[in-house]
Chain A
């Protein structure tokens, strides 16, 4: 409780400092995305969002939806303080298992200082935000800019990884040191991410553009260990990824090296420090930790490479400290984006090819809860910029996976799923 109070006090301090400065000029901004999407999915009857074993966000069949209505609001003061709020909404147009939701995904206060004479710049952030991991979801409201479905790696980040915490970041600017490269290091202390790992274990790696709203509860498929008298009978029907169970503070650290106009490399480590045998109202602590590596590299004027790899483990125990779920997990992708500006003589066309490999290894002996998984995925996207704000996109995704848990609901253990999507996206 003391630690939580500390974070709360820090938050209040930031709000106070920001309010003191309100006399100075403030700039309000509203940015966002509207993603109108038609999809055709060849998968299991229910997708993972509707508690099925399908790996896509939508169910089998055709669907029309607002795949993302995202709004990013900010107020920025001249002294470097800013306040940010991000709202996201998802509205399904058809189907019985309507996944419609609207709410907050991020809310934070930021202070970005000016570089000092040695070229070091300090930044502090406090509130609800994504730890800096995804290299795909850097458009407004955490939208992925080159594809409609994020990679399985970043779909998971969007679903289960979010923190209430404080991030301290220091950047050394090469420009002020006669170097071609910038270096940054960040450290985050956080709470409220204790159940992270549950959804990944119980539906495996998935692919969509759906983000979990702050404090939203998400469904997962049925499996025999949830029956009465079994090891997971006490687990609630839905998982709440963003709650605090034990008042222990987790951390995330990250460092990045970027070479001007060539690209960047980053490496980081996340540990939610959750107590794995703590359970409150059917929500268990999952001690989840992983490292992540990433690069963006501009191979030529038109060709860019983005690659990420994430690997870690998660542990959930009974109140008597017996391992109930003990998994290792990994996911990685390599993505190439090509701008057709030399072929079409305009900057409107861009294509992206993404290859992925993912796995979950189940290390425990819990009956009726096999979390093993092994799979590969391929994504091909074409992006056409119609006007300054409107983009038209077409995307094909194919996921080939082996997942024994599908046997519990009498579905194929080995499965190839396909999705084709057309989208009109408006950014503002």
Chain B
């Protein structure tokens, strides 16, 4: 065997031995026997809604794996990017400051209180999110910055795409609560839910009862770059 073949063989060996990485959202490479649930979120007027969080909560005690999804909450252009992040409990959450100034990130909620300063270009992963919660984040230097982290007890979560859809490949059949959440949803606890028995491929449509509130604009009122912070 020449060197090229050895390299190829080694790659093949590593690929075979490494554990199969499994993605919980999307059904593109669905394994037979798994069910695909497709959820669409529509506004009251019937238009599709993008970037709405959708997740599945097991109700029959199904034991689900830990999602390997990396959560990165960026600070870019003095705004939280993305505005909404979602993670599974105990997943590592990286805050990455892509601006050339310092931010002072905090969550004031009694449920998940934290704060740290993050200098230009740095990443901070010091905060552990060990229980399910809705974390409203701000910056104590730039008051207009506003972002959310939704911490969940399930690996089945995603944000709706351009056509207002998410798909999950469900490995364990049974009863699930399907929850739709967005901080600007004008309903109780900013959410809607439906309980469904998932045994085979399923489609589900959520139509909001009310219009969404405006998403806060993460932008300073003054675009002058050399303001003193009195």
Which residues on A are within 8 Å of B, measured CB to CB?
Answer: 25, 27, 31, 33, 72, 76, 78, 80, 112, 114-117, 119, 121, 130, 132, 138-142, 145, 173, 175-176, 182, 260-261, 263, 296, 298, 347, 388, 427-428
Contact = CB atoms under 8 A, between A and B. Distances in A.
A119 B216 CA distance: 16
A298 B220 CA distance: 12
B188 to A, nearest CB: 14
B229 to A, nearest CB: 9
Interface string B131-171: 00000101010011010000000000000000000000000
A317 B151 CA distance: 68
Interface stretch (B63-71, B84-92, B110-118): B110-118
B144 to A, nearest CB: 7
Nearest to B222: A138
Given A117-B110, A119-B108, A176-B108, A260 B226 contact: no
B219 interface: yes
B221 A263 contact: yes
B128 to A, nearest CB: 19
A391 to B, nearest CB: 9
18 contacts: A27-B102, A76-B102, A78-B117, A114-B108, A116-B108, A119-B108, A138-B227, A140-B226, A145-B224, A175-B143, A175-B216, A176-B138, A182-B143, A260-B144, A260-B216, A261-B217, A427-B226, A428-B226
Nearest to B109: A117
Contacts of A176: 108, 136, 138
A175 B218 CA distance: 11
B221 A298 contact: yes
A376 B139 CA distance: 43
Contacts of A140: 226-228
Contacts of A298: 221
A342 B69 CA distance: 42
Interface of B: 102, 106, 108-110, 113, 115-117, 119, 136, 138, 140, 143-144, 146, 216-217, 219, 221-228, 230
A261 B219 contact: yes
Contact of B108 (A115, A182, A347): A115
Going nearest first, the 4 A-B pairs with the smallest beta carbon separation are A427-B226, A78-B117, A115-B108, A117-B110
A327 to B, nearest CB: 29
Given A27-B117, A141-B228, 6 more contacts: A33-B226, A78-B117, A173-B143, A176-B108, A261-B219, A261-B221
A25 B106 contact: no
A155 B226 CA distance: 20
Contacts of B228: 31, 72, 138-142
A263 B226 CA distance: 19
Instruction: Identify which of A78, A114, A116, A263 gathers the most chain B CB atoms within 10 Å of its CB.
Output: A114
A176 B107 CA distance: 10
Instruction: Identify which of B116, B119, B140, B228 gathers the most chain A CB atoms within 10 Å of its CB.
Output: B228
Given A115-B138, A173-B143, A176-B108, A145 B115 contact: no
Nearest to B143: A173
B99 to A, nearest CB: 14
Contacts of A115: 106, 108, 138, 140
Given A27-B119, A145-B226, A175-B138, A114 B217 contact: no
A428 B140 CA distance: 22
B108 A139 contact: no
Contacts of A182: 143
Contact of B217 (A119, A145, A260): A260
A127 to B, nearest CB: 13
Given A78-B117, A260-B216, A260-B217, A427 B108 contact: no
A117 B225 contact: no
Contacts of B117: 25, 27, 78
A125 to B, nearest CB: 9
Contacts of B116: 78
Nearest to A132: B230
B130 to A, nearest CB: 19
Contacts of A112: 140
Nearest to A115: B108
B125 to A, nearest CB: 17
B169 to A, nearest CB: 37
A4 B201 CA distance: 78
Contacts of B102: 27, 76
A108 to B, nearest CB: 10
A388 B116 CA distance: 29
Nearest to A167: B230
A139 B216 contact: no
A139 B226 contact: yes
Contacts of B106: 114-115
A427 B225 contact: yes
Nearest to A169: B230
Contacts of B219: 261
Contacts of B140: 80, 112, 114-115, 121
A261 B144 CA distance: 9
Nearest to A113: B140
Contacts of A145: 224, 226-227
A33 to B, nearest CB: 7
B136 to A, nearest CB: 7
A103 B82 CA distance: 45
A157 B116 CA distance: 36
